[in-house]
Amino acid sequence: MPSAALSTGIDVHYEWHGDDHEGTPVLFIRGTGADSSRWLPQVEEYKSRYRCLVFDNRGSGKSSAPPGDYTVAMMADDTIALLDHLDVEAAHISGLSLGGAIALDLAINHPERVATLQVHGSWARTEGYARMYLGLLVRLLEEGGLDLYYDGAFLYLFPPEYFITNHDQAMTILAGMKENSSPYDGLLGQLRANMSNDVLDRIGEITAPTLITVGELDMCLPPWYSRQIHHAISGSQLEVFPGGSHLFGLQDPATFNRVTLDWLDAQVGARSG
């Protein structure tokens, strides 16, 4: 996985897939504490049709994890710096959770770099339930350390039934999360970015074609937040996955990939037609 020294002062690890494809690439942005490998169920499907770029956010994976509070805007600046480093003029942006918040910031502040926008299981302002849930994650990390954080946070990522009917798979996913854990400073920095996230008053400025998806049973950022985004972005499309979780792309990658790829193909076809 190559590494880039960015103008924002950090080193970011990234990876290309489907290098033989021409045209606008797809950039995937992951959520809190997650490294880019969690996009592989999507990349494996997307890469036959699009060149795909994945990377580890500031504070996660093999990228730099400087101490201190991060912000969504700071992480969006990292993303733009990576695109600049790679000479990518524009990309189809797909972001999950914190990655979705970063994607919204990009579409607001760098619209010329966003060909299309996908926002999955995300939110535009930390208020209400989101403030309570995200605040709990901060406490889990600060008071219990990394191991308790991952155990506690994991219970919110899938519906309760999933842990009963897919227990072995769930434990494999949890083990992988712990094995590829973010460092303490990086995870805390990302959690602080979550707590200060607020772009709600500006998302109405977004003009990129936008798909918003959320699991019906998302217990991290329930569908109310995705509907809020949908109502604010003119012409956006909202897809609520029945029985879906916060990590629906891992829970049912076949359905997630079909819906998101069909939408992207339609947008690309409309732009080139």
Task: Determine the 3-state secondary structure of 139 from DSSP.
Answer: helix
| Res 210 pLDDT > 80 | yes
Region 191-199: mean pLDDT is: 98
Number of H helices, E strands in the chain: 10, 8
What's the CA gap between 17 and 70, in Å, rounded? 28
Query: Confidence band (pLDDT; 50, 70, 90) for 208?
Result: very high
Q: Is the dihedral of CA 255, 257, 258, 259 positive or negative?
A: positive
| Res 194 pLDDT > 70 | yes
Q: What are the backbone dihedrals phi and psi of residue 88, each rounded to the nearest 5 degrees, phi first?
A: -100, 115
* Strand-strand pairing, 3-5 and 11-17: antiparallel
Region 168-195: mean pLDDT is: 93
What residues are paired with 119 via a beta bridge? 95, 212
Question: Between these two residues, 120 and 180, which has the higher pLDDT value?
Answer: 120
6-15, 77-86, 164-173: which range is least confident on average?
Answer: 164-173
With left for phi above 0 and alpha for psi between -120 and 50, is residue 68 left, alpha or beta?
left
| Res 257 pLDDT > 80 | yes
Instruction: Give me the domains of the chain, ranges plus CATH numbers.
Output: 3-272 (3.40.50.1820)
| Res 99 pLDDT > 80 | yes
pLDDT at 273: 59
Average pLDDT, rounded, for the chain: 95
What's the CA gap between 114 and 264, in Å, rounded? 13
Virtual CA dihedral for 251, 215, 163, 42, nearest 10 degrees?
20
In this structure, the number of other CB atoms found within 10 A of the CB of residue 121 comes to: 29
Region 134-162: mean pLDDT is: 95
Region 118-134: mean pLDDT is: 98
pLDDT at 179: 87
In this structure, the number of other CB atoms found within 10 A of the CB of residue 64 comes to: 20
Region 236-264: mean pLDDT is: 97
Region 86-108: mean pLDDT is: 98
Question: Between these two residues, 273 and 236, which has the higher pLDDT value?
Answer: 236
Q: What is the DSSP letter of 34?
A: -
5-14, 105-114, 181-190, 264-273: which range is least confident on average?
Answer: 264-273
What's the CA gap between 54 and 36, in Å, rounded? 6
Region 91-111: mean pLDDT is: 98
Q: Which residue has the tokens 């926002």?
A: 119
Q: What is the DSSP letter of 24?
A: P
Task: Determine the 3-state secondary structure of 171 from DSSP.
Answer: helix
pLDDT at 272: 66
16-71 per-position pLDDT tens digit:
999 777 789 999 999 999 999 999 999 999 999 999 999 999 999 999 999 999 99
Query: Confidence band (pLDDT; 50, 70, 90) for 147?
Result: very high
pLDDT at 271: 73
| Res 115 pLDDT > 90 | yes
- Residue 109, C-beta contacts closer than 8 angstroms, at least 6 positions apart: 73, 76
pLDDT at 22: 79
What residues are paired with 266 via a beta bridge? none
pLDDT at 1: 61
CA atoms within 13 A on the CB side of 137: 25
What's the CA gap between 244 and 90, in Å, rounded? 30
Q: What is the DSSP letter of 198?
A: B
